[in-house]
Amino acid sequence: MKYANFCGYSDVEPYEIIRKVSDKCYEIRAMDAVKDPAVVTQFVVGGFSAVSDNAQKWIISSNPENEIIRIRANKKKGFANKYGQRFSLSDKPCKYYDYNF
């Protein structure tokens, strides 16, 4: 696994794994994500914002200036930081923004 994606309620933010401290502990750093300007926002009827969430594309890049944090394995949430925020390990970075909230 090369990435750890932060799982907010419905939003997802990409993080990269910097170092594997142990099987239960990783050091990670937030990645920068910019909305792809080539993708046109589609407006649809329904939902709160009337924006199609399925047409999202993001340009994700590493940023060495971002702070390095640690996540640890736990029984309830998989991996979490010291504040209890959940992370999911993955082979690719993922960014998703829920426009309805």
For the whole model, what pTM was predicted?
Answer: 0.84
pLDDT of the chain along its 101 residues, tens only? 899 999 998 899 999 999 999 999 999 999 999 988 887 666 556 655 555 556 788 999 999 999 999 999 988 768 999 999 999 999 999 999 887 76
For 48-75, what is each residue's pLDDT tens digit? Answer: 555 555 678 899 999 999 999 999 998 8
Domain positions in the chain are 3-31+62-90
Token pair recorded at residue 42: 């589609």
First CA to last CA distance, the chain: 30
Gyration radius (Cα) of the chain, Å: 15
DSSP class of 75: T
